[in-house]
Amino acid sequence: MSLQEHLAQQQLLPSTKAQYKSILTRTEGKDPVEWLKERIHARTPIGTVLPYRAAVKHYLLSEQGYTEEELKELLPKAKGRPTAFRHALTPEALATYHAAVEGVPDPSMTILTLLPKTGMRISEICGLQVGDIQNVSGVRALVFRGKRDKQRSIPLTKSAEATLDSYIRTTQPTKWLFTGQMGNPISPHAVRKHTRHIAALHPDLTGLSPHVLRHTYATLLVARGVDLKTIQQLLGHESIETTSRYLHPTITDLAVAAAKLE
């Protein structure tokens, strides 16, 4: 079975399949297992090693005919230095961010406005269809297939609903909610270039990315007293341990805690 056929059978987002194919182009002319070992020995961040290992595994399963059991012995365990710590935006930085987003053209402007209001992954929001906006038990929500083809439902806040309705009235999308080139859904890369540009213009937004906005959504929920299990459902995490990694105190929280010693 070819890699293309193999990936087509997996419950993966199109962006994930594209990422794996891109990774495998770097192994051309090399032993993929040795290439992976070199990345691990170079103390590549664990968040980067994991997709590297997954891509190599899919290649060996499809193109080389290895079994899952054989690969348990053959592939090195995913090790690496911790991924860089991502701070959520402070309320002040978030206000700066929203002001900056107003200068971005649609559909990226609407996507960037919605990210900290929905906590969606960039690949998820870019792949939304018009039919994904639904009324569930009287609640207006985004209902879609997320990571690992898992169905997710995110209730829309009044603010998010107003943003989305304004966009729909103006653009009147038919199939894809956010259309890019050639009538296809907009690519995550097309949106990320705007976060990089905003970060370059605003020093207090250094490191801004769609994933930081996802962290910001989780942090805002914690600040409002939402329990961890509910946040897990909203973020679409399979494990509550994964959710807990998103929920770290801000420097302001730490300062308030330390001040209690006075």
Cis, bond preceding 82 (omega within 30 deg of 0): no
Residue 192 annotated among the catalytic residues of the structure? no
Active-site residue, 150 included: no
Indicate the helix (H) or strand (E) that contains 144.
strand 139-145
- Catalytic, 6? Answer no
Asked whether the beta carbons of 177 and 129 are under 8 A apart, the reply is: yes
Q: Is 246 a catalytic residue?
A: yes
Beta-carbon-side half-sphere exposure of residue 30 (alpha carbons within 13 Å)? 15
Catalytic choice (21, 140, 202, 211) = 211
Q: Are 250 and 87 in contact, with CB atoms under 8 Å apart?
A: yes
Residue 66 among the catalytic residues: no
- Given 21, 87, 98, 237, which residue is catalytic? 237
CA distances from 200 to 92, 99, 115, 245 (A): 17, 15, 19, 27
Which residue among 87, 140, 145, 147 is the active-site one?
A: 147
Q: How many CB atoms lie within 10 A of CB 17?
A: 18
State the virtual CA torsion across 233, 235, 236, 240 in degrees, nearest 10.
-70
Report how far residue 115's alpha carbon sits from residue 213's, in angstroms, rounded to the nearest whole number. 6
Between CA 87 and CA 84 the distance in angstroms is 10
Out of 39, 57, 117, 214, which one is annotated catalytic? 214
Give residue 236's region: left, alpha or beta (phi > 0; psi -120 to 50). left
Q: How far apart are CA 39 and CA 49, in angstroms?
A: 7
- For residue 6, the SS3 value is helix
Annotated catalytic residue within 121, 167, 193, 197? 121
Residue 86 catalytic? no
Active site residues: 121, 147, 211, 214, 237, 246
